[in-house]
Amino acid sequence: MARPQTLVHADRFRERVVIVTGGSAGIGRAIVEQLGKEGARLALTSLPEDAGVTVPELEKQGYKAIEFAGDMSGETFCRDVVRGTLAEYGRVDHLVNNAFSFNAEGIGATGADWERIMFVGPVAFARMIQLVAEPMKRVGGGSIVNISSISAHIAQPERWTYNTAKGAVNQLTRCCAMDLASHGIRINTISPGWTWTREVAKAAGGDRSKWEPIWGQYALLERICEPIEVARPTLFLLSDDASFITGTELFVDGGYNAMGPEGLGKSSTFAGTD
């Protein structure tokens, strides 16, 4: 199957200030790099163990970036991120809520499990939206993308916590989009399917050649997603190219959500029938 190719991009984000949570790895890192290519001034958050690596690499490419290392579950940390961004750049134009805890627990989930997944996920997303709303109003509006998942729409074994939290992200997007539309602030959701990130690589034991064909059976394109393939539609929704799109969800899943129970039909009783 075809892989994503290098594209030539216009400076859609020249001098725009963008906060990307979880911007040091995986999907977040791909979003940050793509925004840098299009002229954005960047503020990203990272886990303490990942701090100090991404910004020097971005600066070598000529991009302007600052980093905040900490835990998105903390209200004080969220405030520090927005205040620090305003202190550095004087404005906020866009936000990508990406950082999330991959805490997938089922019937044995504890109160601590539920608290962790909700406060790092949808609660932190809501806090960040609250905090950037006023700065965005001051510059005449802005746009926000929340990174959700196909897991928000389906049942998966032993995934009560993660799937519930992702479902909450989708509903948060709709409610926030309604309340902030009159201020020129658009809010949308991207829902990726299986994407080759650190967590997925861990689930695969690092063996992509073995696991990609297995996971690929659940996508019309018969492979998993690359982080850049989530980044590009995210930038579209952030940009003025999507000026009449708000409160909606874009699946970036290779056709996962479109597939029926017979799968690709290669070995089912439906194959070859009318």
| Residues taking part in catalysis | 162
Residue 73 makes CB contacts below 8 A (sequence gap 6+) with: 116, 119, 120, 123, 124
> Which ranges of 61-110 does DSSP label H, i.e. alpha helix?
75-89
* CA dist., res. 42 & res. 61, Å (int): 13
Instruction: For the sheet with 17-20, list strands across it.
Output: 64-69, 41-46, 17-20, 94-97, 142-147, 185-192, 249-252
SS3 99: coil
Q: N- to C-terminal Cα distance for the chain?
A: 27
